[in-house]
Structure 1
Amino acid sequence: MLAVYIYSLCYALLPFTFHSATTNMSSKNGVGHTDTSSVDKEELISQFPHLDRLDPSPWAQKILSRPPLGREKISVVLSGAGLAGISTGIILSQKVDNIDLTILERSPDFGGVWFDNSYPGVQCDVPVHAYQLSFDPKRDWDRPYAYGNDIKQYWGDRAKKYQLNEKTRFGHNILEAKFNKNTSQWVIQVETVADKKRSEIRADVFIATSGALNNPRYPPTQPGFDSFQGIKFHPQQWPEGLDLTGKRVALIGNGATGVQILPQIVEQAAHVDHYAKSSSWIGHALFGPGVPGYVEYSRDDIESIKSDKDYLEFQKELHRNIGGKYDFFFYGTPAFRELTKELLAVAWIRVGKDPKLFRKVVPTYPFGAKRLLPAPGYLEALTRPNVDYLLGDVKEFTKNGIIGADGVERQVDVIIAATGYPLTNGNGFTPNYEIIGTDGYSLRQHFSPLESRLGYSASYLGLAAPGFPNFFYTLSVNSYITKSTPAETVELQAAYIARAIRKKQLEKIKSLEPSLKATVSFNRRITELSKAISVTKGNGFFNEVTKDGTKRSKVDWPGSVSHAIAVLREPRWEDFEYRYEDNDDPFAYFGSGKTWIDDHDGDKTFYITQSATVAAKVHEGWISLPSDGPPRVVAR
């Protein structure tokens, strides 16, 4: 009855006018029963003093003088303009009102790892149709695993298309990011690469999107590396115009980079000594059978997915093959055993069924403990007569070469140190500068088990950490979704971060951070998962050794793709701790009880829209509600 009463009252107060008869339904709106236009309404009300001379409550003026409900301007800084920074920047630009976005990038252009690396054979080891923006894909890739330069071109083009070039400061290296509790802002110290000029940037929200693969790591413990008098370099710093024809080469490392380089250099070099601590598991492709192989697409292949309908079906099939294999993740299950047998068969065939080499290339740890590598031509290259595959730690570098684990010195002209990037003691999982939280405690310490207060790297949902207010990150501790791709993961994380920023804006929250209790509870899932999966059955950067000596997964999300989508789409706001602009009145953001549109011309019924299909995956519908402009319903 109350609803009927309110509706009737509002309806009765509308200024009605008669309209000529028409069949148009919209002309019926506002037609009343009585024409009151000829009545002197002021004379009527003057006859009733109790109606004419009202004393308004001072609260009416007080309430109506308050600002309207709405999201005010918020400053957000991202560190890094690679895949994660570009994806996050685009999504936040489209999903957050009144955002003042700045991206800080030390390189002179977009691309991140794809800008930094140009070694022979560099290419994506994820099917490229799943390594791009879901809402703005490129459909005419010429191969399933695209070359690095083509990937850099794609991400740079998308960044410019969404005007991120206007928001990005290239050649700016972050020295430190520190949270100021008094202002609830991040204070970011920046230095220009070109002239070393320093400046300070303040941000309401700071997001680390810089990734882990940016600082080359040279052989860290073996002596003598500096004494070698030949050519030596990390693949990220591949010398322009290098000619290996007729040279003896040492390639150290068989990670994702090393396995791509070997097939490229064996054709030129007179001899290659390939050093590796241990063998690596090699698959058909990164995600195993059912995903595209290392072939070029034909023109007919490319044309066959030009239509929206055909491309949708192609994408669904591709992601069914990439995802949907969560059970393979669990050590010792039937699915795990079947994939192990498949990988052994791949190795047996690709080493030419050579029993001695086959036993040498099969790792001594189960697959999953380190990254499964797609490596076209790598195992085949090991069978060549000009390649020696040398397992074990390098003992020493000399003036003319390398002493291997067998104690033999082998002379070489060139050393290629494909030895990866620093990924221990919190390095790699945090940027190459300190991120300092509320009490001087750094994120690098927090993500380093021996220094962490909890004795392990404690993430909240793979995108935040307690003690670091107004801070988020992508693609780091417990971020990576099993059988997903970095692009898909970042979109999920960026959409979640956008929701958190909108909440902070709307409710006048000065700072928000996950509680320690919620973080510990989330990490219980990681601890349980660590006991069940193959990641912890070997040594690699996928896992860590906690302060109490147990192995623990450091990279994995505790669930499948659909699991992550469901969890990250519905934030648990009760897990956060908040500081409001007025801690005594957290509902102060209600303001005047109105929004901007109530006092301005425009569409006052913006919330009534035509039915629209909304992509349920990550791009949820939301109400844009700026404090200084009209609201609107955003379907995508």
Structure 2
Amino acid sequence: MASTSSSGFRLNKEEARVIIVGAGVGGLATAILLKRKLKFENFLIVDKAADIGGTWEANVYPGCASDVGGHWYSLSTDLNPNWESFYASQPELQAYWRGLVDKYNLHKHLVLSTNVEHAVWNDEKQSYTVTLSDVSSGSEWEEVAEMVVDGTGGLSIPAYPKDIKDKESFAGVQFHSARWRKDVDLSGKRVGVVGNGCSAAQLVPKVAEDPSVQILNFCRTPNWLTTRRHKVYSTFEKWAFAHVPLVARAYRLWVYTTYEVGIILFLPMFQRLRLSIEKGIRDRIAKKAPKEYVDNLTPSFPAGCKRLVVDPGYLSCLSKPNVKLTWDTIDAVVPEGVKMKNGEFIPLDVIVWATGFSVLNVGIDVKGKEMTLSEYYDSKGGPEAYLGTTTPGFPNYFILMGANTATGHASVIFSEEVQINYFLQLMKPVIEKKARSFEVRASASEAYNAKIQRRTIGTVWTRCSSWYKVGEKNVAIFPGPLFLFWWWARSPRWEHFIASGAERWEAERKRNRVLSALLAALFLVFSAGLTQSTFREVVLSGLTRVITAVRSFF
């Protein structure tokens, strides 16, 4: 059985083939840029979900929204002038990506409700054999592709606390915030929300709007709750974004700049500024939160060491009579509620696990030349990749949101666009059949990751325990401004890659280098101010013969 999209589209075996795993932000952005930049259509987008959107398809809890401004939390190729407010809501974001699927005719490439079981590299055939399975029936089939893009993302698998026992024993309704049950009516219920990170901070205020719902928020670690920008765009502003040239682009640049300067919060040379900002946040917590919660809500670690939480009204809602916090530790789940470590029993009707995601998700099960990606990560003491995108031993395998591509201050979509534009340059010779594969050299990857770890020293990310780290190794954060990441990834350093079956590509590169040098020499001759026509004609004639000879030789 060959994998086909809902429209019956199949990969053409006579051309280079690409399988994109994940129909979320990264996967769809890859498909769009393949079409826009390379005019390439021979790809499939595979996703286990029944709809596109990834994070924004799965997370539908009340109050779900981006915590980065919508005008930057979108593709640079497709600005959206119609965001309702500064922070885009989940329905808006899902509608935005559905609109792009329509605009770029991606429906024909989609293979939904399909699992990617595993992918195996065949070095002789220079391709991956990808095993797929139908989510409903479990039936399996194989597809072959020269290139695979892992767009599953780092925040796709819900995580549950390992230290809480007997979670399956609950007789009521329980679900993760990333698997919100819209069919469950919370009215009149006793709801326990476990966790107080980004998701909880968004959903608790919205659920608390119904005074009949009694919410008990089980908090685990305090967070730095930053002020949310309450900006609603006027009809005129949206008209200007849509119709006045460069207004939307200039505004996006301004939003980018306001976020990018935030990197200074995490760097040691700006410690005084960070301490000043921390004092402002502490004062805000003391002002907005009930007095009995202030001490527990105030972090003792530096701001940025864990992910910052944009406060959409969480602190204010804690004063409502139907919202309570507890910092006592849950020992176990029992049929009627939870049992605390202090022996207290708390009855509950519903448990919502707002406990984040498994950040050590390695994406799909893929085997390269010698080992699986999981084994490679284990051998390195945690995930690492060259520019967060490619790994030694895995030719033509590209990872979106790989190790050290996340930031604590900026847009993940921008990061992914940087990655995509980078690996499209590696894909292009394969698509044009001038090369068969590119694999990053182990020495280049090791040197890059050593540099990443050196840059982490002294930053706030080293000063507490967080999901950014495995042991003491930073596996998640890019320790610098996104401009720097873009600069490093603007074009491949080809000497860092092993090119296979690339004789034609190598010859073309060599010819282009020689021609570029000759053209530079020609420019210098004329810029020197040669006025004698006879000499100029001799120089031109000689260069023309050389260029012709170079072209014929290569």
TM-score above 0.5, yes or no = yes
Q: How does 1:524-543 map to 2 (within 5 A)?
A: 524-543=450-469
CA distance in 2, matches of 1:336, 1:529: 18
* Farther-moved stretch of structure 1 (499-508 vs 536-545): 499-508
Q: Note closer, same or farther for the CA distance 1:349–1:503 as it changes in structure 2 (3 Å cut).
A: farther
Q: How does 1:416-455 map to 2 (within 5 A)?
A: 416-423=352-359, 427-428=360-361, 430-431=362-363, 433-439=364-370, 441-447=371-377, 452-455=378-381
* Farther-moved stretch of structure 1 (200-209 vs 368-377): 368-377
CA distance in 1, matches of 2:479, 2:175: 38
Query: 2:310 aligned with 1:374, yes or no?
Result: yes
Residue of 254, 263, 280 corresponding to 2:205: 263
- Report which of the two structures shows the higher radius of gyration computed on alpha carbons: 1
CA distance in 1, matches of 2:39, 2:77: 20
Matched with 1:553 is 474
Residues 173-216 of structure 1 show CA distances to partners (whole Å, capped at 9, x for unaligned) of 10001111111111110001232221111111111011133332
Matched with 1:140 is 82
1:98 shift after superposition = 4.9
Query: 2:296 aligned with 1:296, yes or no?
Result: no
Matched residue SS, 1:566:
helix
Q: Note closer, same or farther for the CA distance 1:577–1:482 as it changes in structure 2 (3 Å cut).
A: farther
Query: 2:307 aligned with 1:349, yes or no?
Result: no
Matched with 1:317 is 254
- Matching residue's letter, 1:368: G
CA distance in 1, matches of 2:162, 2:219: 14
Residues 307 and 408 in structure 2, CA contact (< 8 A), matched pair in contact too: no
Matched with 1:330 is 267
Residues 77 and 102 in structure 1, CA contact (< 8 A), matched pair in contact too: yes
Q: How does 1:97-496 map to 2 (within 5 A)?
A: 98-268=40-210, 269-285=212-228, 293-306=229-242, 307-331=244-268, 333-351=271-289, 354=291, 356-423=292-359, 427-428=360-361, 430-431=362-363, 433-439=364-370, 441-447=371-377, 452-481=378-407, 483-496=409-422
From the two aligned structures, give the one with the greater helix fraction: 2
Residues 93 and 101 in structure 1, CA contact (< 8 A), matched pair in contact too: no
Matched residue SS, 1:445:
helix
Residues 525 and 558 in structure 1, CA contact (< 8 A), matched pair in contact too: no
CA distance in 2, matches of 1:542, 1:418: 18
Q: Note closer, same or farther for the CA distance 1:219–1:310 as it changes in structure 2 (3 Å cut).
A: same
- Matching residue's letter, 1:566: W
Query: 2:508 aligned with 1:578, yes or no?
Result: no
CA distance in 2, matches of 1:444, 1:392: 36
Matched with 1:609 is none
1:470 shift after superposition = 0.8
- Matching residue's letter, 1:346: R
Unaligned runs of 5+ in 2: 1-13, 513-554
CA distance in 2, matches of 1:129, 1:590: 38
Matched residue SS, 2:449:
helix
Residues 390 and 404 in structure 1, CA contact (< 8 A), matched pair in contact too: no
Matched with 1:47 is none
Matched residue SS, 1:277:
coil
CA distance in 2, matches of 1:496, 1:557: 16
Residues 482 and 559 in structure 1, CA contact (< 8 A), matched pair in contact too: no
1:539 shift after superposition = 1.6
Matched residue SS, 1:74:
coil
Matched residue SS, 2:246:
helix
Q: Note closer, same or farther for the CA distance 1:112–1:270 as it changes in structure 2 (3 Å cut).
A: closer
CA distance in 1, matches of 2:491, 2:162: 43
Residues 530 and 552 in structure 1, CA contact (< 8 A), matched pair in contact too: no
Residues 73 and 99 in structure 1, CA contact (< 8 A), matched pair in contact too: no
Matched with 1:606 is none
Q: Note closer, same or farther for the CA distance 1:175–1:124 as it changes in structure 2 (3 Å cut).
A: same
Residues 273 and 388 in structure 1, CA contact (< 8 A), matched pair in contact too: yes
1:454 shift after superposition = 2.8
Residues 482 and 561 in structure 1, CA contact (< 8 A), matched pair in contact too: no
Q: Note closer, same or farther for the CA distance 1:562–1:587 as it changes in structure 2 (3 Å cut).
A: closer
Q: Note closer, same or farther for the CA distance 1:342–1:304 as it changes in structure 2 (3 Å cut).
A: farther
Query: 2:14 aligned with 1:83, yes or no?
Result: no
- Matching residue's letter, 2:252: Q
Query: How many residues were matched structurally?
Result: 496
Instruction: State the superposition RMSD in angstroms.
Output: 2.3
Residues 96 and 501 in structure 1, CA contact (< 8 A), matched pair in contact too: no
1:505 shift after superposition = 4.3
Matched residue SS, 1:305:
helix
Q: Note closer, same or farther for the CA distance 1:187–1:327 as it changes in structure 2 (3 Å cut).
A: same
1:482 shift after superposition = 5.3
1:514 shift after superposition = 1.0
Q: Note closer, same or farther for the CA distance 1:263–1:369 as it changes in structure 2 (3 Å cut).
A: same
CA distance in 1, matches of 2:195, 2:289: 19
1:403 shift after superposition = 2.0
Residue of 566, 572, 592 corresponding to 2:487: 566
Structure 1 outlier segments of 4+, above 4 Å: 585-591
Unaligned runs of 5+ in 1: 1-71, 286-292, 546-550, 595-636
Q: Note closer, same or farther for the CA distance 1:280–1:392 as it changes in structure 2 (3 Å cut).
A: farther
Residues 539-563 of structure 1 show CA distances to partners (whole Å, capped at 9, x for unaligned) of 2211221xxxxx1221122431221
- Matching residue's letter, 1:314: Y
Matched with 2:447 is 521
- Matching residue's letter, 1:318: V
Matched residue SS, 2:202:
helix
- TM-score when normalising by structure 2: 0.84
Residues 75 and 203 in structure 1, CA contact (< 8 A), matched pair in contact too: yes
1:531 shift after superposition = 1.5
1:342 shift after superposition = 2.7
- Matching residue's letter, 1:576: F
CA distance in 2, matches of 1:468, 1:122: 36
Q: Between the two proteins, what is the percent identity of the paired residues?
A: 25
